[in-house]
Amino acid sequence: MAPILELKAVDKSFGGLHVTSKVSFAVMPGEISAIIGPNGAGKTTLFNQITGHLRSDAGAIFFKEENIVGRSPQQIVARGMGRAFQIASIFPDETVLDNIRAACLSRLGQTRKFWRSVVTFRQATEDAHAILDSLGLDSQADRLAFELAHGDQKLLDIGIALALKPALLLLDEPTAGMSPDERQHTRALIKKLWKAFDLTLVFIEHDMDMVFGIAQVVRVLQQGALLAEGTPEEIRANKQVITAYLGEDF
């Protein structure tokens, strides 16, 4: 089987700062994997390169067997990639429902319709409620997004990405800033969504319970370079990873 995503010697620098260097790995369809690494390792930057938010300086990124370096985020999203952000990226003054509905309308190619009210778009509305249901947010559908608790805003961000029905979903620290209880809930939720939506999922995390609990493959980034790649067991036993990131007492 061909990988759904393949990075080949991907590079990015900002001025003199080399943020990602010669990163190569392949993600297989249906896989759930984690990217870990210290703060500033270049994890978010790598996501930005994959999603077309930043243009890679060198290397190739194959998504569904096509090199997408130089493509715009719009084009990459259209090919089936979705993304949620380290800091929840939502539409604060819209209702929770409309946040998701906007994404559903976009997927259905209906965002140019200017005559009928959004509430009359049955398919988009049903899809949006289904997504909210699967996130446990449906009871808050009519609230404005900025009124949501921080953890729920993170979930809403994931919901917006899910509404695009992506083949590949990238989550940047889905549990960042959550309480331990919320983390536990989100951990289980993400695993559930991965199965229910038939996703290939790559997530960045600092929460090791989540990384070693649900990832099939773990990749370690250090100072922009891929330090190690393997199953959770392999990574846990890897001397270099322990020194660089996990620490001796892990």
Smallest gap from Cβ 204 to Mg ion, in A, equals: 6
Please tell me the chain's helix, strand, coil percentages from 3-state DSSP, rounded to the nearest 5: 40, 25, 35
- String marking each residue 215-244 x if it binds ligand ATP according to CB under 6 A: ------------------------------
| 21 scored as a contact of ligand ATP (CB under 6 A) | no
- The reply to whether 175 sits near Mg ion by the rule CB under 5 A is no
The sign of the CA dihedral 240, 246, 249, 250 is negative
Cα distance between residue 53 and residue 233, in whole Å? 33
Q: Phi then psi for 110, rounded to 5 degrees? A: -110, 15
Q: Choose among Mg ion, ligand ATP, another protein, none what residue 119 binds, the Cβ cut-off being 5 to 8 Å by kind.
A: another protein
Smallest distance, Å, CB 185 to another protein?
24
Site for another protein, residues 40 to 79, rule: CB under 8 A = 51, 53, 72-74, 77-78
Provide the mask over 54-93, with x wherever binding to ligand ATP is found by CB under 6 A and - wherever it is not.
--------------------------------x-------
> Is 39 near ligand ATP (CB under 6 A)?
yes
Contacts of 12 (CB under 8 A, 6+ apart): 19, 20, 42, 45, 46, 49, 54, 56, 57, 224
Applying CB under 6 A, what is the total number of residues that bind ligand ATP?
Answer: 12
Between the alpha carbon of residue 15 and those of residues 12, 59, 238, 245, the distances in Å are: 10, 18, 33, 26
- What's the min distance (Å) between Cβ of 14 and ligand ATP? 3
Amino acid letter at 238? N
Binding-site member from 21, 33, 45, 125 for ligand ATP (CB under 6 A): 45
Q: Is 160 in the site for another protein (CB under 8 A)?
A: yes
Stretch that binds ligand ATP, among 34-42, 68-76, 94-102, 237-245 (CB under 6 A): 34-42
Q: Tokens 């979705």 label which residue?
A: 82
Q: How many CB atoms lie within 10 A of CB 95?
A: 16
Alpha-carbon distance 203 to 43, whole Å?
10
Minimum gap (Å) between residue 96 Cβ and Mg ion = 25
To which H or E segment does residue 20 belong?
A: strand 17-27
Chain positions contacting Mg ion, by CB under 5 A: 44, 86
Chain positions contacting ligand ATP, by CB under 6 A: 14, 17, 19, 37, 39-45, 86
